[in-house]
Structure 1
Amino acid sequence: MKTGDQNLVKKINKCIVLHTIQTKSPISRSQISQATGLNKATVSSLVTELIKEHLVHEIGTGQSYGGRKPVMLYFNQNAGYSIGIDLGVNYILGVLTDLKGHIIEKIFVSLNKQDYPYVINEVIKIIHKLFRQTPKSPYGIIGIGIGVPGIVNREGTILFAPNLNWRNINIKEEIKKEFDLPVIVENDANSGAHGEHIYGAGKNISNLVYVNIGIGIGTGIIIDNKLFKGATGISGEMGHQTIDLKGMKCRCGNKGCWELYASESALRKLAKQIPVFRNAENIGIEDLIEKANQGNRDVISLFDRLGEYIGIGLINVINTFNPHLVIIGNRFSLLKNWILNPINRVLEQRLPPFQREACSVTFSELGIYSCALGSAAFAVSSFFDKEKVIVE
């Protein structure tokens, strides 16, 4: 029992030291000791192990304030790499990142159909390409994260992806079998929320909601710095809240869903009613932005109307979760200059003052990369979690 206890304490202390270096480097052994309360001999021994494991580097001497100059330590973010996949309805975005989330390589492909065999083949091809572009490192690819636009349970099974028309898909096992690596499959809004929380607009915000607006709408919810997933892992389907009791039929089986009025699908559908786009086959957000910048009143009015619908849905989100921050992400982050005012106008009109004053609305700092970076970050977290000790 004594040996077991000593090993447990050592493992806990090693995690503390590594986390301190990850978050505060460059840092000296003495500074680690001061920050953690561990004695210098313990810190020195654990740092030696981390250096042998290639997770920490010595990078030279720091400023001396009397006595020998301290040797500074730095987290080796290139000890391994992670792959993150944002599997959209009409695209796949893949990124290769280092262990601190910096993008090393990226691949974007458009999807012209949604049948599963075709899509899984495209995902596998992208991952193989990212493998070939990966620099040499001690740990290589440490894992793969995949964000998908649908309901994903805690086991990583896609229960239902309405905009892809998928049910009970186990993409996780197929990717694991192909690459023999840990694979994490998560809802795309959860991945986006995680990405923004650790790398983007949500850094240092303990309670936030990330609203992923693409072909559909999903929300990722961070409460007390943790991703809230609900009893079975499928929370956040706010895109299917009803905002029109007798509204249009949704693929989910409901009527009047928020995403039918405030998503990219809704935007494209309404844009076809504008004279300049009446005969257009494919209308992109960029096309609409171009016309708005040229002063097209119909497009500007459409953006205003869409912003109001987004605001209506956000009222329910804010009243339910009372977040400090709402982050609007995915492709709609491109529309910030056109939809922020109507969103805020609706919130000012309809939210109680105490709710409105407590919550800010902003847009993604990571843009289209929120989901892919968050997915890659899940894989990185899983890699380091193997060494963590959780004490209840």
Structure 2
Amino acid sequence: MQKTGDLALVKQINTAIVLEAVLKNAPLSRAQISERTGLNKATVSSLVQDLIHSDLVIDIGPGQSSGGRKPFLLLFNSRAGYAIGVDLGVNYIRGVLTDLEGAVIHEYELPLKTHDVDKVQQQLFTCIEKLQATIPESPYGLVGIGIGVPGLVDETGTILFAPNLAWKQVPLQTIVEDRFGVPVIIDNEANAGAQGEQRFGAGRGIANQIYVSVGIGIGTGIILNKELYKGASGFSGELGHLSIEVNGKPCRCGNQGCWELYASEKALLEQAEAIGFTELDTLIEAAKEGNERVLALFHSIGEYLGAGIANIVNVFNPDLVIIGNRMSRAETWLSPAVRDTVARRSLGQHHKRLSIRFAELNDQSAVRGAAYYAISRFFIKIKSGEPYNM
């Protein structure tokens, strides 16, 4: 009996190796998989057939011959299933449906004008249902849902504290799983954004990077040595609550003088009211038209943003800082002040190799990262040899 168990484990491991080779290097022939993995050709052929039967790999026919018979090439079947990613913001809910390689198939967004838990929950369900209704027929259907939220999340997917939503102890993972019957992964929105940019955006291939999510609040996702750093209790990245003014404004977190009170979209809009603006989009339009008061406002916010980033640079010495979320739309007017302030305030050796970029995915970093969480969970289950279910 022990030998049978060992053989099953070996097959499971080898199947995962073959699938990983196809995921990373397709199109590949069976012979090329054998060369890359070190598995013999007969084993590869058998495992590939299993993956084809599982609808995870497709044979796309003969490729170019290098002498002798033409090899039959294999691709990962990215449309075998679909994932939903959701960015639950303070003033919006944004969702995407992606295939199993993270490519966006459909998008849906709606404004969020209430923070009442029950009402937000219904709007969240609406977003997910709209996307779910667009899923094409596929072997695995909806494989999971990932959700990024602006707050502290524990390992059970409970939102412990989201100050800008005024939420405490909301068991969001359980609520959504009960409704949709698929695995749900909940994480802080900035962590999801960091994952989105690392996998699909400006952070690809960069070992040490900090994603700064600038929306109504500010959060950060920290990637060190290509891994998301979550801290001892899983709550790292709340750098929007760095104190930058000793006797500053009171914050909903209970502190005062927090960075996000001076450098966020909310800070921008609070100051913009005095000159007759109430929305980010209208401010951007005014900046395009050369409105000097709006340009000065963006410059001021950019300086505060740069001051906080300089602190991050001095602490973490990253290769890259990525500025994302809704305020990335204002890159043209924020960037000069941010870059100048970081250059002046960060230590010379820390700044020497630093790159500052605005999110390549614009304001979709978190929603793409959330979908990636669901895809990643699917692959973990598939590679473990377990039936894919909750």
TM-score range, shorter chain: over 0.9
Mapped partners of 1:192, 1:350: distance in 2: 26
Confirm or deny that 1:139 pairs with 2:134. no
Q: Report the CA distance between 1:4 and its aligned residue.
A: 2.2
Partner residue in 2 for 1:23: 24
Residue 356 (structure 1) aligned to one of 347, 351, 363: 351
Partner residue in 1 for 2:202: 201
Mapped partners of 1:288, 1:126: distance in 2: 27
Deviates more, 1:290-299 or 1:141-150: 290-299
Deviates more, 1:317-326 or 1:131-140: 317-326
Partner residue in 2 for 1:8: 9
SS of the aligned residue for 2:274 comes to coil
Partner residue in 1 for 2:298: 303
Mapped partners of 1:271, 1:37: distance in 2: 62
Residue 319 (structure 2) aligned to one of 321, 324, 327: 324
Amino acid at match of 1:263: S
Partner residue in 1 for 2:103: 102
On the 8 A contact 2:311/2:346 being kept in 1, the answer is: no
Aligned length: 384
Mapped partners of 1:299, 1:125: distance in 2: 36
Partner residue in 2 for 1:38: 39
Partner residue in 1 for 2:237: 236
SS of the aligned residue for 2:143 comes to strand
Q: Report the CA distance between 1:169 and its aligned residue.
A: 0.5
SS of the aligned residue for 1:386 comes to helix
Mapped partners of 2:160, 2:41: distance in 1: 51
Uncovered stretches (5+) of structure 1, i.e. residues with no partner: none
Mapped partners of 2:316, 2:137: distance in 1: 44
Identity of aligned residues (%): 51
Q: Report the CA distance between 1:9 and its aligned residue.
A: 2.0
Mapped partners of 1:378, 1:55: distance in 2: 19
**1:186-232 Cα deviation digits (max 9, x unpaired):** 10001111111111111111211111110000001111111111112
Q: Report the CA distance between 1:389 and its aligned residue.
A: 5.5
Uncovered stretches (5+) of structure 2, i.e. residues with no partner: 386-390
**1:365-387 Cα deviation digits (max 9, x unpaired):** 11121111111110110011113
Partner residue in 2 for 1:378: 373
Q: Report the CA distance between 1:273 and its aligned residue.
A: 2.3
Partner residue in 1 for 2:388: none
Q: Write out aligned runs for 1:21-100 (5 A).
A: 21-100=22-101
Q: Report the CA distance between 1:352 and its aligned residue.
A: 1.6
Amino acid at match of 2:301: L
Q: Report the CA distance between 1:320 and its aligned residue.
A: 1.9
Partner residue in 2 for 1:191: 192
Q: Report the CA distance between 1:144 and its aligned residue.
A: 0.6
Amino acid at match of 1:68: R
Mapped partners of 1:251, 1:114: distance in 2: 14
Q: Write out aligned runs for 1:271-310 (5 A).
A: 271-274=272-275, 277=276, 280=277, 283-310=278-305
Partner residue in 2 for 1:169: 170
Confirm or deny that 1:346 pairs with 2:341. yes
Partner residue in 2 for 1:224: 225
Q: Write out aligned runs for 1:116-127 (5 A).
A: 116-127=117-128
Mapped partners of 1:127, 1:272: distance in 2: 34
Q: Report the CA distance between 1:3 and its aligned residue.
A: 2.3
On the 8 A contact 1:11/1:387 being kept in 2, the answer is: no
TM-score norm. by structure 2 comes to: 0.96
Aligned-residue CA RMSD (Å): 1.3
On the 8 A contact 1:27/1:74 being kept in 2, the answer is: yes
